[in-house]
Amino acid sequence: MSGKITLGRYMWERLHQVGVDTIFGVPGDFNLQFLDSIYEVKDLKWIGNQNELNAAYAADGYARIKGVPGVIVTTHGVGELSALNGVAGAMSENVKLIHIVGQTTRAMQEKHMMIHHSIGSKPDHQMYNKAATGLRFAAAELWDVKTAPKEIDRVIKECFLQSGPVNVYLPLDLSAEEVDADLLKTPIDISPKVDTAAEQKAVKAITDALSSAKHPAVLIDALAHRFNATSETRELFKKLNVPFFSTNMSKGLVDETEEMYIGLWNGEVGTPGVKEAGMASDLVLVLGYLPADTNSGGFSRKLDDSKTIYVNPFEVIVKGTSYPNTHLKSVLATLNNSLPQTPTHKASKPQLPAPRVPNDLDAKHITQSWLWPRLMSYIRPGDVLISETGTTSFGLCDNIFPSNVRFQGQNYYGSIGWATPATLGAEVARLEVDQARKEEEKEEQGTGQGRTVLVTGDGSLAMTIQEIGTMIKAGLKIVIFIVNNDGYTVERMIWGAKQAYNDIVPTNYAHLLPLFHHPDPERSFHKAATKEELEKILEKEEVKNPENLQIVELVVPKLDTAWRLGGQLAVRGEAARKYLKEEGFVDALGNWGLDEGGGVGGVKWA
């Protein structure tokens, strides 16, 4: 391509060059014209969302599965502000997101005109931009066509480097001005500048510590995924013959069916023996740590700094000594290269105590103690699995996943409603990733045949339920499980078990599919209140290998819960335990599974 192109077109071409194939958003009169240029870019698609918050969540889900930025477009004021909560979630959880705001023209801004969506009689059109400071790593505030292409390139690069949101503010009139198409011939360099000397030092410190440790272990966490180091983490898993643990937010990152995957190390709240096995290590290598309360058993996972190595996004800390100016992905790649082909550690898998047996095993209705393991046997290799904040996020983690399950939840920021639009974005990304892999003919075992499965709560779903319409319109074959437990159970567990503020609007989900013109609503809506009913549904061909979007409503008692959630609350102390008991929450393991751990003596090393 040579000659002149509009700045709008330039921006889309640049995004497409770095791997973005779908743009999400909502049109408005300050972005319409440059939305046209999306269709000029070969293979770049537009998916319109039902509102801007959903668009931001969808872009977030897309980015998590594809490893490239999710991109949204909004309009001046009303649109950009509506997206902000979703953008903040991406900031909180280091998700790559590019928010393009179509702004009023430069003349309108200079004259402080009372253009619609503005505030006051002499409006500052940049006030929303100012409100968003702190919720992004960089912003291109475009004004001059001469510098605009460089500015766009700069923030795209920054989005990759920092792994988080950036903004492009594009005045409508500027988007139509022309730039040299030859600029597209030089690709944006999105790779980090690696300080090799700093990295060598850090890697040497890691390998020295590893070789002098007798029983090292690895704890993987979410930022390894966010900084695109999943394949390096998997390679390390193969190269080190030592126990590997995950957190709630890093479940599925390595193959959990492998011998040396031990489990979810979540402090005091865990499967018997897992914490003990972790604590028995004399060195823990932690990758991409994100120790939020919801990702650390309420801060109960105690790591001793003198026995810990942290590989953080831009720093390595070895037993308290800092090695700055490093990059997580690059450190892991170099570490892998410097490790011997044959693992030096000969650790064998610790034998954990026998699994606990829930006391409501014989119930006929769907219980949470039965539901989560049962759902997991529906999940298969290659699936994308999205969980929502609530009892769901605690329940779904409580299983060993099949290999190659791409699992995501917004555990740290925890904005309910995230999961439904994020699933839309995740499915779009999954299809793109799997298609590209097929074309490259390097299909990994188990992927390429997956599905995208959402598990959400009735309260969370209500927040962003319209996005199911977008999924149906786009013909996506997503499977949605809705836990209908009559309201905000997780909130009831914290306070106000029986208060009306924890109730929600009773909803007849059978109407959802016809409402959004689903092509086959009767065969695609399923409802179960008993285990037997759910068993039958899970065996249906249309649920196993969907041809259309499927909804499975699960009726679960209001006071039933995932024990991991109960455990995380109960670990706070006697008052919390008393409350949960008096209000009658189902405690299927007794004392929320807290005192049945194996104890250090309970774990046997073969």
Residues that constitute the known binding site for Mg(2+): 458, 485, 487
491 is a site residue for ligand TPP (CB under 6 A):
yes
For residue 230, give the nearest of 288, 190, 162, 283 by alpha carbon.
288
Nearer to ligand TPP, 163 or 415 (CB): 415
580 is a site residue for ligand TPP (CB under 6 A):
no
460 binds, among Mg ion, ligand TPP, none (CB under 5 to 8 A by kind): ligand TPP
Angle, alpha carbons 387-448-43 (nearest 5°) = 95
For residues 274 and 35, what is the distance between their CA atoms, to the nearest angstrom? 51
Q: How many residues of this chain interact with ligand TPP, rule: CB under 6 A?
A: 19
Maximal CA-CA distance, the chain: 77
Judged by CB under 6 A, the stretch of 180-188, 208-216, 234-242, 386-394 that binds ligand TPP is 386-394
60 is a site residue for ligand TPP (CB under 6 A):
no
Binding mask 467-486 for ligand TPP (x = CB under 6 A): ----------------x-x-
390 is catalytic: no
Binding mask 433-472 for Mg ion (x = CB under 5 A): ------------------------xxx-------------
Question: Which residues contact residue 453 at a Cβ distance below 8 angstroms, ignoring those fewer than 6 apart?
Answer: 378, 379, 383, 384, 385, 386, 478, 479, 480, 481
Nearer to ligand TPP, 75 or 460 (CB): 460
Q: What proportions of the chain, in percent to the nearest 5, are helix, strand and coil?
A: 40, 15, 40
Residue among 250, 295, 300, 392 that touches ligand TPP (CB under 6 A): 392
Residue among 77, 102, 414, 566 that touches ligand TPP (CB under 6 A): 414
271 binds, among Mg ion, ligand TPP, none (CB under 5 to 8 A by kind): none
Which of these is catalytic: 21, 93, 458, 553? 458
Question: Which residues contact residue 5 at a Cβ distance below 8 angstroms, ignoring those fewer than 6 apart?
Answer: 13, 178, 179, 181, 184
458 is catalytic: yes
- Cα radius of gyration rounded to whole Å, the chain: 25
Is 52 strand, coil or helix?
A: helix
163 binds, among ligand TPP, Mg ion, none (CB under 5 to 8 A by kind): none
Phi, psi of 402, rounded to the nearest 5 degrees: -60, 165
For residues 581 and 574, what is the distance between their CA atoms, to the nearest angstrom? 11
Burial of 78 (0-12, 13-18, 19+ CB in 10 A): middle
Residue 456 DSSP one-character state:
E
Judged by CB under 5 A, the stretch of 90-98, 184-192, 479-487, 530-538 that binds Mg ion is 479-487
Which of these is catalytic: 116, 259, 282, 545? 116
Phi, psi of 206, rounded to the nearest 5 degrees: -70, -50
416 binds, among ligand TPP, Mg ion, none (CB under 5 to 8 A by kind): ligand TPP
Judged by CB under 6 A, the stretch of 176-184, 248-256, 377-385, 411-419 that binds ligand TPP is 411-419
365 is catalytic: no
491 binds, among Mg ion, ligand TPP, none (CB under 5 to 8 A by kind): ligand TPP
Which of these is catalytic: 173, 491, 503, 542? 491
For residues 528 and 155, what is the distance between their CA atoms, to the nearest angstrom? 48
For 168-229, where are the alpha helices, taking DSSP H only?
172-175, 196-212, 222-226
Nearer to Mg ion, 203 or 416 (CB): 416
Residues labelled as active-site residues: 29, 52, 116-117, 414, 458, 485, 487, 491
- Interface residues with ligand TPP (CB under 6 A) are 388-392, 414-417, 457-460, 483, 485, 488-491
